[in-house]
Structure 1
Amino acid sequence: MLKTYKFRIYPNKKQEIKLLETLNLCRFTYNKQLELKINKYKENKVNLTQFDLNNNLIILKEENKELKQIHSQTLQDINKRISLAFNGFYRRLNKREQVGFPRFKSKYRYDSITYPQSGFKLENQLYISKIGQINIIKHREIEGKVKTLTIKKTSTNKWFACFSVEQESKSHSNLTNEETIGIDLGINHFYADSNGNLVDNPKYLRKSELKLKKLQRKHSKKLKGSNNRNKSRLKLANLHELISNQRNDFLHKQSRQLVNNYNTIVVERLQISNMTKNHYLAKSINDASWNKFLQLLSYKVEETGGKLVEIDPRNTSQLCICGNKVEKSLATRVHRCNNCGIEMDRDLMSALIIKEKGINDFSIITVGTTGIQACQRTSIEVQ
């Protein structure tokens, strides 16, 4: 499995100038290579491959001597980015999804440099070829074999080093029902689990929405290209970064807590991209970052040797644990079953159904007569 380690770096003024120059040259190369690929197809219906683009780098270097300042593999990675952009475009086109044609990059849309395999060395400081030794805050040790280094500049002018590391996945242990949990993601609560816990949704974007709107209004009134507009942009970027950091911290802590306590986590197979087409829910769903949360769960269970099970979401909110169907509108927040008499929060019941489906569909081992199977047609104790 691949894992990314992200560290803050502190280049001095000369190094920062070199990094910015490298970014600009990489962006220039990206746009030139993209232009070549588009024109070749328009003129001769020839689809240039990544190999063809790599060969064209020789000509591009002769025409632009300053490109020789950049590590060769960094330039080749630019061609890989173009190929990936077109692969994604064709894939979405074939699936009849919303597509966006690969576009040219402005200085605000090209913010990273990648060094595959070589051109860098990490010890007490980070050495980067043709840049030099850069101070780095290495707050934890890297476990595994480093495959690539990506230097990234944020919109708030901070620099980060991101190491992509190959690690061995741990083997799955024998799983028991007591180590299995069902998770129902929501908006009112971030999630409900099958143990009866409701985790509040922090709604970081919603809480900062008024402040964001004020800053956006002030920013729009500033003269384009002025120092005041740039200062205003930084204030706006800092607030967006704060919201993003708050959200990421919350998601990492919640996912880590689940992975550390349970071998198997059962979730619904949600079509989040379709759900966000509902304009009444889109902002709340994006603020909750369900997709990011599921991605974090996925790599963390692989890292610890656990399992993430996805089940069909149909009827998880309409069934009772006794097997009876209890139809409810979205406005109905309490589950009441006329068959077994149980009454509880609808999200908690959904979490129990999700866990039961995970156990039945994927044959997760149960212990004795405890757990979900023993709960059918009986009362449920919610902790």
Structure 2
Amino acid sequence: MAATFTAFFVPGVKALCLRLGLIDSPDKRKQHRSPMVRLGGVAMIFGFCCALTITWLIGGFGLLPPLKDQLIWTTLAGGLCFFLIGLADDLFALPPFPRLIGQVSIAMAIWSQGLRIGAIEMPWLGEESSLMVLPPLLSLISTVIWLVGITNAINWLDGLDGLAAGVAGIAAIGLISVSFSLHQVAAGFLAAALAGCCLGFLRHNFNPARIFMGDGGSYFLGFTLAAISIIGPAKGLTTVSLLLPLLILSLPLADMSAVIMSRLREGRSPFHPDRSHIHHRLLRAGFSHRKTVLLLYAFTQWLGALALVVANAEMRFLWLTVATAILITAVLLSRKELIDSRKTNQPLNTTSPRVK
């Protein structure tokens, strides 16, 4: 449902934005050569909300205890608020610090509504002391860092056509499998709706893109992924449930960490835009736009399969074997294309990615 609704809403959003002049004009640091609509996140929000609303109307949420039901609506409210921050940035080009302050404030409000990292289970300490309850202040700090960090990691990954939507969609599919393997239906509902709106949007966003999701869309994706990983555990974040989202989202998290350290080492602000992200490096190495995106897709799905092994999911080793075969195939094909292009002295990449 989410994929169908999102794909259906995208043309309408694009037509409306073109009529209102809400477009992203090309310049020397952007990859597109004609005006592009960058408010595709609006369609993603509609698709996500419609899918969850219909699920609720047909009684799907009746499977959930009241607390989990509430957390779904809290996640939806938080996603909408993060989307509005990104939408304001798309329309008015907000400075980095006001955006960060807004994100932290919303994350704190979300924490106050019960969506929080409240405890961590450590079974190796013994049954009596296996659950380490976090003090309120530490719980607040951990939750805010988690929500804001993953949100910005996905946002910074949105530099190539289809990259953020594809990586987030694959990560959401991994969270679907993990959630139902751990019998966490609420997280599974949210992950399914998120995966659907990513896949529906990719129909219009894969290279060559006809619309961009904008910061509103990437903030929404990042926050929702972060929230799903907190909703899953029943009592607190177990060592397994803490490791799973870190595994699935390790690509954008590692990319963000490396970029921040690189900028700080060079004496620049962590928010200073440059071309040091992993997709920039692959493009500079000579990979084509599509091969770069597909290679990062392959790596993300392999990490998702690895998370299934950690979660002890059914047929986990079969999925890991398939994912490994896909990753190896993607690497070999990309390497072959790169070697062929160097032999003919024809660079594969002729476009400049969006700078984050």
Q: TM-score range by the shorter chain?
A: under 0.3
Rg bigger for which structure? 1
Normalized per residue, the structure richer in helix is 2
> Normalized against structure 1, the TM-score is what?
0.23
> Normalized against structure 2, the TM-score is what?
0.24
